[in-house]
């Protein structure tokens, strides 16, 4: 029975973490995709330099990925981009959880109520991973496309999640990731951040006051599962000249209400 269960998802060598238990070509292809994903497009020579491989080696990987639609070659400049096939594969991640589907309508309503961009994110490896966004129609707006990541301590969603995590888990994340500063308003002291998280719990929503990018504010609230654990966060982001601190209480109540609707829709419940 044990052998049968193992073969369903893991081979006998699953616990072998040696280099021999990896496939070098797959590892190289994924590394190239990550490089491309962080750029607006790159030439073969740029990719080879960034990857530290010969152009011939990189080209073979690219042509293989191109055959599956995962990368695309564009125009006279011979620029490589991530292709639509990568999007289709990546979209399978979103289908793993119903929170994305359940949050769509509350996010759309939140955008219309506030006039600003609504975002949905989760924690992934000690960072905020943005899953979905409903953009405002304003010319100047926040933009966090799906797949974007942000440090938790300078993100509205990140702080909304941290505020309801056990303190031991919070300290573990801070120990691994540190508290780098991005603007003069970033919270780079553990004591200051923990005090901010306490205020977040008291009022029910988090505020990123230009802590990640100057001129941008964010108000966020957590979404809870059936055990009362924070599993995602909903936020509204916009330029500081439209989202004043005096608007935080009003927008916070709207974001809190939208997050509560998603919590209810996924069968969750907020902790008492």
Domains of the chain: 2-89 (1.10.10.10), 97-265 (3.30.450.40)
Query: How does the average pLDDT of the chain come out, rounded?
Result: 88
Q: What is the pLDDT of residue 83?
A: 87
Q: Are 208 and 159 in contact (CB under 8 A)?
A: yes
pLDDT exceeds 60 at position 163 = yes
pLDDT exceeds 60 at position 82 = yes
Task: Please give the average per-residue pLDDT across 223-243, as a whole number.
Answer: 95
Q: What is the pLDDT of residue 141?
A: 81
pLDDT in tens, 32-70: 898 988 888 899 999 999 989 899 999 999 999 999 999
Q: What is the pLDDT of residue 6?
A: 42
**What is the DSSP secondary-structure string of the chain?**
-HHHHHHHH--TTTT--SGGGS-HHHHHHHHHHHHHHTSS-B-HHHHHHHHTS-HHHHHHHHHHHHHTTSEEEETTTTEEEE-HHHHHHHHHHHTT-THHHHHHHHHHHHHHHHSSEEEEEEEETTEEEEEEEE--SSSS-----TT-EEEGGG-HHHHHHHHHS-HHHHHHHHHHH----SSTT----HHHHHHHHHHHHHHTSEEEESSSSTTEEEEEEEEE-TTS-EEEEEEEEEETTTS-GGGHHHHHHHHHHHHHHHHHHTT-----
**Residue 161 burial by Cβ neighbours in a 10 Å radius (0-12, 13-18, 19+):** buried
Whether the full predicted model's pTM is greater than 0.75, yes or no, is no
């Amino acid at each position: 029975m044990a052998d049968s269960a193992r073969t369903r998802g893991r081979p006998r060598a699953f616990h072998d973490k040696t280099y021999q238990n990896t496939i070098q070509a797959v590892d190289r292809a994924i590394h190239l995709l990550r490089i491309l994903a962080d750029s607006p497009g790159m030439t073969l020579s740029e990719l080879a330099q960034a990857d530290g491989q010969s152009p011939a080696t990189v080209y073979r990987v690219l042509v293989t990925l191109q055959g599956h639609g995962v990368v695309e070659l564009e125009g006279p400049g011979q620029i490589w981009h991530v292709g639509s096939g990568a999007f289709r594969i990546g979209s399978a991640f979103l289908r793993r959880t119903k929170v994305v589907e359940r949050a769509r309508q509350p996010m759309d309503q939140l955008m219309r109520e506030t006039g600003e961009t609504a975002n949905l994110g989760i924690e992934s490896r000690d960072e905020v991973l943005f899953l979905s966004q409903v953009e405002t129609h304003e010319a100047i707006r926040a933009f966090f496309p799906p797949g974007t990541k942000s440090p938790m301590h300078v993100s509205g969603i990140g702080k909304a999640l941290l505020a309801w995590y056990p303190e031991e888990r919070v300290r573990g994340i801070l120990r691994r990731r540190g508290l780098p500063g991005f603007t003069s308003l970033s919270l780079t002291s553990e004591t200051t951040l923990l005090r901010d998280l306490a205020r977040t719990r008291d009022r029910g929503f988090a505020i990123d006051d230009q802590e990640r990018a100057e001129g941008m504010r964010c108000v966020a609230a957590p979404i809870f599962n059936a055990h009362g654990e924070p599993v995602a966060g909903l936020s509204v982001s916009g330029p500081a000249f439209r989202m004043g601190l005096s608007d935080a209480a009003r927008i916070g109540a709207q974001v809190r209400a939208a997050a509560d609707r998603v919590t209810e829709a996924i069968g969750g419940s907020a902790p008492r």
